[in-house]
Structure 1
Amino acid sequence: MTSAPHLSTTPPAVTANEQLRTPLRLRLRPNALSTGHVDGAWWPRSRDLAAELPALLAVLAVRLGEIPRVSYNLTEWDTAPRQIAVDGVRVRLSGFWSRPAHTVDVVAGDRRRLTLLLVPPDAEPSAAHDSMMCAAERGNTDTVEVLLHGIAAHESTVDARSTCIPEQMFQGVR
């Protein structure tokens, strides 16, 4: 008599082996000295972090090498596991309530870090595109709030197409 195999209901890591089926919506600054609040922008298709990360990390590994850690704001995503496996590498997912909203930090094995603007999955396409292009501009120093301003304006039914507006333009305006 043989017993049935024991199946765990909570695996230690989610394994991602699927190939990218749709284009990744990612814009990065040119590889240079980092200034500003973000190093680029990512527009995931859902709020499922475990499903969205493998494609992102595969692309970012070209620039960063092995990526063992990702940190994120807990309010931005549905429940996520503590770690996932991407191409045989375990990636620790660290969710924090205190992490800045609308950002994701990707940390390389050598501790280099990319901070990405997180464009909401349900954002209107043209506003999302504009925010992503601004975030990826060389020398951009706009805050996350400024970069997402066009998305918020569109959601409030104001027809305002986002353009890159440097923070300096807001100085002195009351």
Structure 2
Amino acid sequence: MVLNSPVANKAPRLVFCNRSATRGGVDAAWLPGSNNLGAELPDLLAVIGSMIGEVRRVVYDPRSWTKTPSRMIRRGVAISIDPYPMVTCETIYLIGTHSRDAVIYVFPQTCTTAIVDRVLDAIRDSDAPMDTSVLRHLLGRFSTAEAETA
């Protein structure tokens, strides 16, 4: 499933994948429209909520985002948004109802749309479980290929 809605100069993209059982496993890869998590979360929560139930908590690495509010109200319910320096700074964690969760890999804002599109296509075409190391490898491979053709 791909989410497309215009925000800033980039359209956010979200692709679900099979989560690896290994450390760093992810449920989806996402290119937000900006590095303002507060502005980007409402659309993401709407989509992810269908997968894990209403999201009640978001944990993110503050090194990857601009200042973010500590709470957000959605459908009359407060959602806790907590900064935490994570081992894998490219991910955010969403905790839904009934202790269901989702781990989302977030592409760096420095990635070109062409590279992100190629990685998202690779995820869509694969049935293999995904984790951050696989996604980093894909980013590196496609970045190198783009640099060689430039």
**Alignment match, 2:77:** 89
Percent of paired sites with the same residue: 23
**Alignment match, 1:123:** 111
Greater Cα shift, 95-104 or 71-80: 95-104
Aligned 8 A contact 1:124 1:151 in 2: no
Q: 2:20 aligns with which of 12, 35, 47?
A: 35
The runs of 5 or more residues in structure 2 that have no matched partner are none
Residues 158 and 90 of structure 1, relative CA distance in 2, 3 Å threshold? same
Aligned 8 A contact 1:38 1:135 in 2: no
Aligned 8 A contact 2:62 2:85 in 1: yes
Residues 98 and 109 of structure 1, relative CA distance in 2, 3 Å threshold? same
Residues 111 and 105 of structure 1, relative CA distance in 2, 3 Å threshold? same
Give deviations 1:66-99, integer Å, cap 9, x for gaps.
1101111111101111111123221111111134
TM-superposed deviation, 1:115: 0.7
Give deviations 1:44-68, integer Å, cap 9, x for gaps.
0111000000000011112222110
Greater Cα shift, 103-112 or 147-156: 147-156
Q: Distance in 2 between matches of 1:86 and 1:155?
A: 41
Give deviations 1:116-168, integer Å, cap 9, x for gaps.
11112331112112223444543324x424313344462897338xxxxxxxx
Higher helix share: 2
Aligned 8 A contact 2:15 2:29 in 1: yes
Aligned 8 A contact 1:40 1:132 in 2: no
Residues 21 and 146 of structure 1, relative CA distance in 2, 3 Å threshold? closer
**Alignment match, 2:97:** 109
Supply the RMSD in Å over aligned alpha carbons: 2.6
Structure 1 residue ranges, 4+ long, deviating more than 6 angstroms after superposition: none
The runs of 5 or more residues in structure 1 that have no matched partner are 1-19, 161-174
Q: Distance in 2 between matches of 1:151 and 1:124?
A: 10
Aligned 8 A contact 2:30 2:105 in 1: yes
Q: Distance in 1 between matches of 2:82 and 2:139?
A: 26
Q: Which amino acid aligns with 2:59?
A: S
Give the 5 Å matches for 1:1-174.
21-22=5-6, 24-29=12-17, 34-36=19-21, 37-135=25-123, 137-141=126-130, 143-152=131-140, 154=143, 158-159=147-148
